[in-house]
């Protein structure tokens, strides 16, 4: 049974092709270290590229055709693309600083002497008119192309016949006929023809290869490469929904930012203190809170001391909870916990029978903070620590007291 191929299927694949072609253009620009390159999908054309890296801005517009059949000048896809190129050329006042790209997965077919070309029977090139354009033999086929485009152009502009519409038709006829043969040759030479080109599957493979090479250059672990690809797709999806022209544009810098974000993730991951895992392994055995622990060693404690410590606890918990790197906070807490356990263990052994006072409690906290601060600043030479200030170290010691990790007895 012959396998069917619907226009809807081709349309969906064509939309995907546009996105991946634009993505590949920007990745190529990153690899070539180009700057000020911008791309947009379905903006003036299937793919638009603006290059502002030179003194004079260069523009490329691209038509993407994902079709199952071969194409010739007679094909609607080719004729429509040529008209789009023509109108884009006219919009920039026939500048030579614009380039057009026709990109298709299809192969070239030779033209049949039908329609407008019927009058050229026996004169059409055996290799096909489009092949002649690829071979830069524009002069040999321009006289075949112009009448085909004239018919397509006027068909596109045709409206209901009224006196006003007749004037409009006459305007477009005059406009089309105003181009000289040399102008047509100049226009056709601005078009790059790509037949039998990569489909979306092949382009995705090339894109992922580019992502891999750029990741290697930036020392990004290959486990992030699929995430980078997904982020690039999200970038194009979000821009495609924009109505404003400038918001549709994606720059080479936008692509670089995605790579840099993952590079920062790699750097951050490499600098994370592994002790964050130890924090999750801690078991809480003493369920008393800060107030109960202090009253266990000072029965008639000043309420102001407890209230002040609890205020510091609240501030410290709030600041730790707002930190963007929870693993750093866990490692930080564990490191300070170890200082507390070591200090309090030594203090208990050498100070049996000591009578606790509010001043002694404050003195013990201050001494722990001093030792913890020295340790944290030393560890900061190897790892990224969550906090460096002395106030947070003190608040963390109080957090450990309130959250049942350490005690004075």
Strands 98-104, 191-194: pairing kind: parallel
Q: What is the distance of C-alpha 359 from the center of its chain?
A: 57
Q: In 3D, which of 29, 63, 20, 67 has the Cα closest to residue 45?
A: 63
Mean pLDDT in the chain?
Answer: 89
Residue 114: φ, ψ to 5°: -125, 165
Q: Look at residue 12 in the predicted model and tell me its pLDDT.
A: 67
Range with the lowest mean pLDDT among 67-81, 86-100, 165-179, 358-372? 165-179
What pLDDT is attached to residue 55?
Answer: 86
Sign of the dihedral defined by the CA atoms of residues 133, 139, 144, 146, in that order: positive
pLDDT of residue 165: 66
Angle at 283 between CA 278 and CA 284, to 5 degrees: 130
Nearest to 101 by CA among 128, 77, 81: 81
What's residue 10's pLDDT?
A: 58
Query: Could you give the percent of the chain with pLDDT greater than 70?
Result: 92
Predicted local distance difference test score (pLDDT) of residue 119: 85
Q: Where residue 141 falls among pLDDT bands split at 50, 70, 90? A: very high
pLDDT mean over 5-13: 55
Predicted local confidence at residue 262, as pLDDT: 81
Provide the β-strand partners of residue 58: 51
Where is average pLDDT lowest: 27-31, 59-63, 241-245? 241-245
In the chain, where the domains are located:
7-261, 276-402
Give the model's pLDDT for residue 19.
93
Q: How much is the average pLDDT of 130-153?
A: 94
Residue 36 near residue 87 (C-beta atoms within 8 A): no
**For residue 73, pLDDT beyond 70:** yes
Residue % of the chain over a pLDDT of 90: 65
Residue 218, token pair as written in the block: 């930036």
Which residues is 98 bridged to in the sheet? Answer: 59
Question: For 203-250, what is each residue's pLDDT tens digit?
Answer: 999 999 999 999 988 878 788 899 999 999 999 988 887 888 889 999
Overall pTM surpassing 0.75 (yes/no): no
How far is residue 246's CA from residue 251's CA, in Å, rounded to a whole number? 10
Residue 172: pLDDT band (50, 70, 90) is confident
Alpha helices in 272-354 (DSSP H): 276-281, 290-297, 303-321, 326-350
325 has a pLDDT exceeding 90: no
Q: What is the mean pLDDT of residues 275-295?
A: 90
Cα 36 from Cα 20, distance rounded (Å): 20
Count of beta carbons in the 10 Å neighbourhood of residue 164: 10
Highest mean pLDDT among 5-9, 156-160, 270-274, 333-337: 333-337
Count of CB atoms situated within 10 Å of the CB of 29: 22
Examine the pLDDT at 159 and tell me if it is beyond 60: no
Is residue 346 within 8 A of residue 386, CB to CB? The reply is: no
Distance between CA atoms of 172 and 228, rounded to whole angstroms? 48
If residue 121 lies in a helix (H) or strand (E), which one and from where to where?
Answer: none
Categorize the per-residue pLDDT at 265 as very low, low, confident or very high, splitting at 50, 70 and 90.
Answer: low
Which has the higher per-residue pLDDT, 371 or 272? Answer: 371
Match 């502002």 to its residue by tokens.
52
Higher local confidence (pLDDT), 201 or 266: 201
β strands within 184-230, DSSP E: 191-194
- Asked if pLDDT for residue 7 goes beyond 50, the answer is no
Query: pLDDT band at residue 5, thresholds of 50, 70 and 90?
Result: very low
- How sure is the predictor about 170, in pLDDT bands with cuts at 50, 70 and 90? confident
pLDDT at 266: 62
Q: pLDDT at position 68, please? A: 86
Instruction: Kindly tell me if the per-residue pLDDT of 6 is higher than 60.
Output: no
DSSP 156-189: HH----SHHHHHHHHHHHHHHHTS-HHHHHHHHT
Please give the Cα distance from 233 to 339 (Å, whole number). Answer: 48
**What DSSP assignment string belongs to 30-79?**
HHTT--SEEEEESSSSSEEEEE-SSSS-EEEEEEEE--SS-B-TTSHHHH
Residue 1 has pLDDT above 80, yes or no: no
Query: Which backbone phi and psi does 185 adopt, to 5 degrees?
Result: -65, -45
Higher pLDDT pick, 184 / 13: 184
């Amino acid at each position: 049974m012959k396998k069917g191929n619907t226009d809807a299927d081709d349309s969906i694949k064509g939309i995907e092709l546009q996105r991946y072609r634009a993505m590949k253009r920007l990745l190529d620009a990153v690899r070539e270290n180009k700057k000020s390159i911008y791309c947009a999908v379905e903006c003036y054309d299937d793919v638009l590229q603006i290059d502002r890296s030179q003194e004079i801005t260069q523009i490329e517009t691209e038509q993407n055709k994902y079709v199952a059949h071969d194409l010739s000048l007679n094909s609607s896809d080719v004729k429509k693309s040529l008209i789009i190129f023509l109108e884009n050329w006219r919009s920039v006042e026939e500048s030579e600083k614009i380039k057009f790209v026709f990109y298709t997965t299809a192969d070239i077919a030779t033209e049949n002497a039908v329609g407008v070309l019927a009058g050229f029977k026996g004169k059409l090139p055996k290799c096909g008119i489009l092949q002649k354009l690829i071979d830069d033999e524009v002069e040999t086929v321009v006289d075949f192309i112009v009448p085909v485009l004239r018919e397509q152009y006027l068909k596109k502009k045709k409206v209901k016949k009224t006196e006003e519409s007749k004037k409009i038709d006459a305007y477009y006829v005059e406009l089309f006929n105003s181009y000289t043969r040399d102008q047509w040759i100049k226009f056709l030479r601005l078009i790059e023809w790509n037949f039998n080109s990569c489909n979306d599957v092949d382009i995705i493979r090339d894109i992922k290869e580019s992502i891999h090479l750029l990741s290697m250059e930036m020392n990004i672990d290959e486990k992030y490469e699929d995430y980078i690809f997904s982020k690039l797709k999200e970038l194009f999806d979000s821009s495609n929904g924009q109505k404003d022209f400038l918001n549709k544009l994606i720059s080479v810098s936008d692509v670089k930012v995605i790579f840099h974000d993952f590079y920062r993730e790699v750097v951050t991951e490499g600098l994370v203190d592994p002790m964050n895992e130890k924090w999750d392994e801690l078991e809480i055995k003493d369920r008393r809170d800060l107030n109960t622990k202090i009253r266990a060693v000072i029965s008639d404690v000043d309420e102001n001391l407890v209230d002040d410590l609890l205020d510091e606890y609240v501030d410290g918990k709030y600041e730790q909870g707002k930190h963007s790197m929870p693993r750093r906070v866990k490692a930080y807490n564990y490191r300070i916990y170890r200082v507390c356990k070591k200090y309090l263990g030594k203090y208990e052994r050498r100070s049996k029978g000591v009578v606790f006072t509010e001043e002694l409690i404050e003195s013990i906290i201050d001494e722990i903070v001093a030792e913890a601060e020295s340790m944290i600043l030393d560890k900061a030479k190897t790892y990224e620590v969550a906090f460096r200030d002395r106030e947070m170290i003190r608040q963390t010691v109080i957090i450990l007291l309130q959250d049942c990790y350490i005690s004075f007895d």
